[in-house]
Amino acid sequence: MSASKPKKSFKIEPFKHKVEMDPDYANNTWKVLEDAIHEIYNHNASGLSFEELYRSAYNMVLHKYGNKLYEGLTTTMTNQLQKVAGQIDAAQGDTFLEELNLKWLDHNKSLQMIRDILMYMDRTYVTNQNKVPVHELGLNLWRDAIVRNGRIRDRLLKTLLDLVHKERTGEVINRGLMRNVTKMFVDLGQTVYLEDFEKPFLDATADFYKAEAQQFISTSDCTDYLRKAEKRLNEEIERVAHYLDQKTESKLTTVVEREMIGNHMKLLVEMENSGLVSMLTNDKYEDLARMYNLFRRVPTGLQTVRDLMTSHLRETGKQLVTDPERQRDPVEFVQRLLDEKDKYDRLIAQSFGNDKTFQNALNSSFEFFINLNTRSPEFISLFVDDKLKKGLKGVSEEDVEGVLDKVMMLFRYLQEKDVFEKYYKQHLAKRLLSGRTVSDDAERSLIVKLKTECGYQFTSKLEGMFTDMKTSKDTMAAFQQKMVEEGNDSDISLQVQVLTTGSWPTQPGAKATLPPEILEQCDKFKNFYLSTHTGRRLSWQTNMGTADLRATFAHSRHELNVSTYQMCILLLFNNADALSYQEIQAATEIPVADLKRNLQSLACVKGRNVLRKEPVGKDVDEDDVFHFNDKFTNKLHKIKIGTVSAQKESEPEKQETRQKVEEDRKPQIEAAIVRIMKSRRLLDHNNIISEVTKQLQSRFLPNPAVIKKRIESLIEREFLERDKNDRRLYRYLA
């Protein structure tokens, strides 16, 4: 025998069924049970015998008195609870809730015992007759007799809501008691909790916060208001944890969010001096994060924030790009755009949790206002030019990449990418030919980025330019070696870059008569080059070159770094002290605009005026006379004489570039139309326009009117024809 387990001993006594015939059997047995139920409610259960009571109930059910038992139980419990209701109702003031809770706990305990002794009835009679089980019956009776009692119901609700209100206004309440009572509602069933407590509770909550929001909004600024709302929201969430059913949380927060935020969204974000715009302007990360977190909880909340941010961004962006002051300095202009982008990137990352929809709003806003200014492509290219010429000196490789990436980001916003390409080509050509590019790696890195963004086609010519530069270097080395071998040494050292036609931006009319001593060298190179590359043609692009000259003045000697045109002009003064404008033009044949500009930089810039102009003046006229300025002095030995030219294009140049771009677009549009029609065969006008626009989107935004003209031109050239029945339809002619 093991002693490890608790042991009880039974006595088995035979039981005589002599009472079976007794007509009062059922009544007597029920009487025993009824008395027991009263005893249980009177806390005297420890004197009762479970065995006896269970056996009594068992026998009643066994002898078909189940119904009597069940009905008796219902009646007895109902009477009992009515008595309890009276006691609860009699409780005064604060003791009311405590009394109710006490009686509820009592009832639960008693019900448990009653259920145990009637277990057999629960298992057989109740199941067979589809009756409500004892436990549930007890809860239903409590619900009807107590919770929905006419004298208790409203009082109970009011007491509970008062307590919540007290806590909301800062008083300390008995949370444990609250918890028990709300738990009672839950135990009585979801519908009881929902209808008898939760619904009125939520209504009271709505009223409370409606009033509070009204009051806050008239006394607080946006920052303050949001802080208060956040605090309230957290309090309510805590409240649920302390004494409400977990399922209430979402409903409760929805009510608070609606009353505190949802109903006042517009008012809040648009608050003057403290609303969204003020937060954005003053980098209030914390406040913005709070706003984001609160507004995301209400429907259309984030949309409200996003819409206002977008319109603010567009407005400020528009001011930025259309302000004529800003356009004076393209580098500064682009830098401002980048700064603005950085600011909002940081803001969205820190306050808006990198929300994709906000990033999209930011991007679309930038795209919107950058393209408001038709000069944006030019300015961005100028910014790159500036960075690659000097801005990146002493900057680490990673930082260079950073700058280039940012430029690419702006580039992506451009609708007229082909315009950017045009300018970029011009600026790159200047950088390469004047040897002013700081970092070859950076140049190439940007080309790679452009290639990934726009494809091979976009950058092939740019890459061609780099190849030309490299080939030229080799060619020059070979040429110079040959010159030395042939003993053909000259005072003049010639550097030639052979540029592939088409890859480089060339001005067709740019021509000048080179001085004979230069021409001689040029011819030597020409012969050398054509001897190895038969069948090619060389023509001299005098507008792109530079020259280093040694010049002797009355007081000093200087080395002058000038353009090829300027060299041509200055060499004339080796044989003359004074020349008129007309004479210079006749001798050099430099195009008028270039000549004027170069003369201006030689004669009119202080510290660089190696020529003297008569009459003195800022601009060059066709009757001016130029003298060699013998008295020229400068502290520096080496002097670079730049060409007077605005960094950005002048108005006529801009027009010219524009026209070139438009010309270049024509074949691209035509090619797109033909590609589309070739595959579709038959298509109506609107569809062609939209397909063409889609195909060319990555390069530029074609104008529908221009597309229409191209279609007409293609019809004329019999690539397409109009359908005979429907004039809106076009047919592809193979």
Partner 1 sequence: KGGDDNEASLTYDEQIVEKVNLSSKTGADGVERKQLFVSSAILASNSEYFRQLFSNGMRESEEKELIIKLAAKEEQAFIDAVRFIFCGHVASKSALDLIRLILVADRFGIPSCIQAACDAL
Residue ranges that bind partner 1, judged by CB under 8 A? 1-2, 5-17, 45-55, 58, 112-113, 116, 119-120, 123-124
The distance of closest approach from Cβ of residue 215 to partner 1 in the complex, given in angstroms and rounded to an integer, is 54
Q: Which is nearer to partner 1, 5 or 631 (CB)?
A: 5
Contacts of 302 (CB under 8 A, 6+ apart): 292, 295, 296, 355, 357
Collapsing DSSP to helix, strand or coil, 549 comes out as strand
CB of 53: closest distance to partner 1 in angstroms? 8
Cα separation of 519 and 402, whole Å?
46
CA-wise closest residue to 458 among 669, 662, 698, 666: 698
User: Listing from the earlier edge strand, what are the strands of the sheet with 546-552?
Assistant: 546-552, 557-563, 638-640
| Closer residue to partner 1 (CB): 13 or 485 | 13
Is the Cβ of residue 47 or residue 487 nearer to partner 1 in the bound state?
47
**613 by DSSP, 3-state: which?**
strand
Give the nearest distance from C-beta 107 to partner 1 in angstroms.
Answer: 15
Cβ 70 to partner 1 shortest distance, Å: 18
Q: Considering beta carbons, is residue 123 or 694 the nearer one to partner 1?
A: 123
Closer residue to partner 1, CB minimum distance, 128 or 460: 128
Q: Report how far residue 620's alpha carbon sits from residue 590's, in angstroms, rounded to the nearest whole number.
A: 14
Quick one: 15 or 456, whose CB is closer to partner 1? 15
112/215 with CB nearer partner 1: 112
Q: Counting beta carbons within 10 angstroms of the beta carbon of residue 580, is it exposed (0 to 12), middle (13 to 18) or buried (19 or more)?
A: middle
Please report the sign of the dihedral spanned by the C-alpha atoms of residue 685, residue 688, residue 692, residue 693. positive
CB of 50 to partner 1, least distance (A): 4
How far apart are the C-alpha atoms of 147 and 152, rounded to whole Å? 6
Q: Which of 134, 111, 265, 247 is nearest to 182 (CA)?
A: 247
Rg (CA), the chain: 48
For partner 1, which is the closer residue by CB, 112 or 374? 112
Q: What minimum distance in Å lies between the beta carbon of 54 and partner 1? A: 7
For residue 105, the minimal CB distance to partner 1 (Å) is: 14
Smallest gap from residue 5 Cβ to partner 1 (A): 4
Q: Which is nearer to partner 1, 39 or 283 (CB)?
A: 39
CB of 143 to partner 1, least distance (A): 24
Whether a cis peptide bond, with omega within 30° of 0, leads into 615 is yes
Residue 294: partners with Cβ closer than 8 Å, 6 or more residues away: 226, 229, 230, 233, 257, 261, 301
Burial (0-12, 13-18, 19+ Cβ within 10 Å), 403:
buried
Q: Rounded to the nearest whole angstrom, what is the least distance from the CB of residue 95 to partner 1 in the complex?
A: 27
CB of 264 to partner 1, least distance (A): 57
Q: Is 91 exposed, middle or buried (0-12, 13-18, 19+ CB in 10 A)?
A: middle
Q: Of 103, 5, 118, 136, give the one whose Cα is nearest residue 54.
A: 118
List, edge to edge, every strand of the sheet that includes 578-580: 578-580, 625-628, 611-614
| Residue with Cβ nearer partner 1 (62 or 578) | 62
Under DSSP, the state recorded for 557 is E
Please, which residues have CB within 8 angstroms of residue 482's CB and are 6 or more apart in sequence? Answer: 528
Q: Which is nearer to partner 1, 73 or 260 (CB)?
A: 73
Beta carbon nearer to partner 1, 46 or 531:
46
**Which residue bears the tokens 């950088």?**
431
Nearest-approach distance from CB 73 to partner 1, in angstroms: 17
Q: How far is the CB of 106 from partner 1 (least distance, A)?
A: 13
Between 32 and 625, name the residue whose CB sits nearer to partner 1: 32
User: Which residue in this structure is represented by tokens 């015939």?
Assistant: 21
Query: Strand, coil or helix: what is 729?
Result: strand
List of residues 6+ apart from 641 with CB closer than 8 A: 560, 561, 562, 563, 566, 601, 602, 605, 608, 610
- Whose Cβ is closer to partner 1: residue 56's or residue 304's? 56
Q: 557-563 and 546-552: which strand pairing?
A: antiparallel
Q: How far is the CB of 121 from partner 1 (least distance, A)?
A: 12
Cβ-Cβ contacts under 8 Å for 247 (sequence gap 6 or more): none
Closer by beta carbon to partner 1, 117 or else 279: 117
* Contact present, 365 and 310 (Cβ < 8 Å): yes
Between residues 1 and 554, which has the closer beta carbon with respect to partner 1?
1
**CB of residue 44 to partner 1, shortest distance in Å:** 10
What's the token pair of residue 133? Answer: 């089980």
Q: Which of 592, 591, 590 lies closest to 567, judged by CA?
A: 590
The whole-angstrom separation of Cα 44 and Cα 386 is: 98
Phi, psi of 438 (to 5 degrees): -80, -45
- Output 49 or 697, the one with its CB closest to partner 1: 49
Minimum CB distance to partner 1, residue 15 (Å): 5
Nearest approach, Cβ of residue 123 and partner 1 (Å):
7
User: What 3-state DSSP class applies to 552?
Assistant: strand
**Bridge pairing between strands 578-580 and 638-640:** unpaired
